[in-house]
Structure 1
Amino acid sequence: MIHLTRLNGEEFVINCMQIERIESIPESNVILVNGKHYVVQESVDEIIARTVEFNARICASARKMED
């Protein structure tokens, strides 16, 4: 899950595992696999960075569980 901000400043959390694609229009339009979409303030690169960080935390937690 990652935190994003709507254009009106409202923050929300989205399941980044459900992102199908992100378009820059010039705002970022996040389209989910179910067809829903969200226009957000964050740039495409910021959304990607947050998704990579989220996935890294998942991998790190899995490694700790193996020890």
Structure 2
Amino acid sequence: MILLTKLDQQKILINLETVKYIESVPDTIIFFTNGESMMVQESMEAISQAVVEYQAAVFRQSTQTTPPAP
């Protein structure tokens, strides 16, 4: 999930699995798989960077070795 800001300054977490696509016209609009859409303050580039950082964090967590239980 990534943290974004709606136009009314409200912070929201977006579940990336529900995003169909994003447009910048010039405002950034996120379109969801359920047909809804939402305008956010962040640019498409900022969202793209947040997605990359989130995916990298998930990958790092998945590759960390956990010591065996005693």
Does 1:25 find its partner at 2:25? yes
One-letter amino acid matched to 1:53 = E
Stretches of structure 1 lacking an aligned partner (at least 5 in a row) = none
* Structure 1 residues 33 and 66: CA distance shift in structure 2, 3 A: farther
Partner of 1:6: 6
Give the Cα separation in 2 of the matches to 1:66 and 1:28: 40
Task: Write out per-residue CA displacement over residues 13-49 of structure 1, whole angstroms, 9 at most, x where no aligned residue.
Answer: 1112321110112110001122221100000000111
Task: Percent identity, please.
Answer: 31
Does 1:61 find its partner at 2:66? no
Aligned length: 67
Structure number with greater Rg is: 2
Give the Cα separation in 2 of the matches to 1:41 and 1:63: 33
Displacement over 3 Å in runs of 4+ = none
- RMSD, aligned CA: 1.5
TM-score, normalised by the number of residues in structure 1: 0.89
Matched residue SS, 2:64: helix
TM-score, normalised by the number of residues in structure 2: 0.85
